[in-house]
Amino acid sequence: MKSKKKIQVFPIVNGLIFIIISLIIIVPIWKILVDSFDLKTAYGMKLWPEEFGLTGYITVFKNPTMYQPLIISFITTICGTAVALILSTFGAYVLIQYDMPGRNFMANMLLFTMIFNGGMIPTYLVLKSLHLTNTLWVVILFPALNVYNLVLMRNFFEGIPASLFESATLDGCSPMQTFIRIVLPMSKAALASIGLMFAVSYWNDYTHYKLYITNSDLYNFQMKLRGMIMGSDSPAVTAGVTENTIKNAAIIIVILPFMILYPFLQKYFVKGVNIGAVKE
């Protein structure tokens, strides 16, 4: 009897705990969303806008110094993800050629960068001497070679049956043809998972901008938002809207594209983590 009663109580308590945990996650984001629509400044504990208005958003989209960083975020995310996927798939495809002379040297050359690096300042000095600082090249190209993601991609590729490669070679396919006709179609899930990981990290990039870009015309939206929150870059306040409302609207704008896509993409992210954990 006693144990039966326990079984009935536990799921309710457990469910309640997880409702509370979910609320702890949601409330801060909800609060920002609400305040971005609230034209009254005294937000306090309200979880619903007191005076509803879209002025915060309109201000962002009307002001070139606000929407230009957003455009830069989009451009660098798209270009960066494309370059990163090319490097990861090319590198991973070469690393599964175990019979190729020099293959181990190539693998070790990449893996060594995971153990040791030059550090923040020598990297900065090299990029500066190559005239890459204060260009969008640096924020597109530098994060594109990610050895960890390349190894993940290699793990995916290793699951492709060797017989497919053999028959492709017998049919006279060049490495590039085999890559396009067999490797890429066989690893759509991997391309989605790793591509999304790259896209999120490009969209969210702040460190590379902070270190290598001082020209505010080249800032992405993360840099712009940071400047606004720190008060070093006050948003242009127009009539009927406060600075905080604009800040809240900016936060919502920068997370919105991801929030919309996220429920559909979640499985690819989870897949990426699990393949990495299982096979590494």
Partner 1 sequence: MKNNKKQSAAPSANNSRKHLAAKIYKYRGFYLMFLPVFIFAVIFFYLPMLGIRYAFTDYNGIKDPTFTGLANFEKMFSMPNFWSAFTNTLEISIIKLFLTVAVAVVVSIFLNEIANIHFKKVVQTIIYLPHFMSWVVTASVFSLILAPTSQGLVNTFLVEMGVVSADNMIYFLGDTKWWRFAYYLINIWKETGWQTVIFMATLSGINTELYEAASIDGAGRWGKMRYITFPALANTILTVLILNLAKVMNLFESAFVLQNDAVLGTANVLETYIYYQTFNSGAIPNYGYTTAVGLFKSIIGCVLVLFCNWLSKKVRDGRGIV
Q: Which of 74, 75, 80, 84 is nearest to 254 (CA)?
A: 74
Assign 183 to helix, strand or coil.
helix
Rounded to a whole number of angstroms, the minimum distance from the CB of residue 215 to partner 1 is 15
**Residue 163, CB-side half-sphere exposure with 13 Å CA sphere:** 0
Rounded to a whole number of angstroms, the minimum distance from the CB of residue 38 to partner 1 is 10
Q: Which of 82, 93, 91, 84 is nearest to 160 (CA)?
A: 93
Measured CA to CA, the distance from residue 200 to residue 84 in angstroms comes to 12
Q: Provide the terminal-to-terminal Cα distance of the chain, rounded to the nearest Å.
A: 47
Tokens matching residue 177: 């043809």
Nearer to partner 1, 31 or 181 (CB): 31
Rounded to a whole number of angstroms, the minimum distance from the CB of residue 75 to partner 1 is 17
Residue 180 per-residue DSSP state? I
Nearer to partner 1, 55 or 275 (CB): 275
Rounded to a whole number of angstroms, the minimum distance from the CB of residue 202 to partner 1 is 11
Nearer to partner 1, 120 or 237 (CB): 120
Nearer to partner 1, 87 or 152 (CB): 87
Cβ contacts of 194 within 8 Å, gap of 6 or more: 85, 88, 149, 152, 153, 272
Rounded to a whole number of angstroms, the minimum distance from the CB of residue 226 to partner 1 is 5
Nearer to partner 1, 54 or 176 (CB): 176
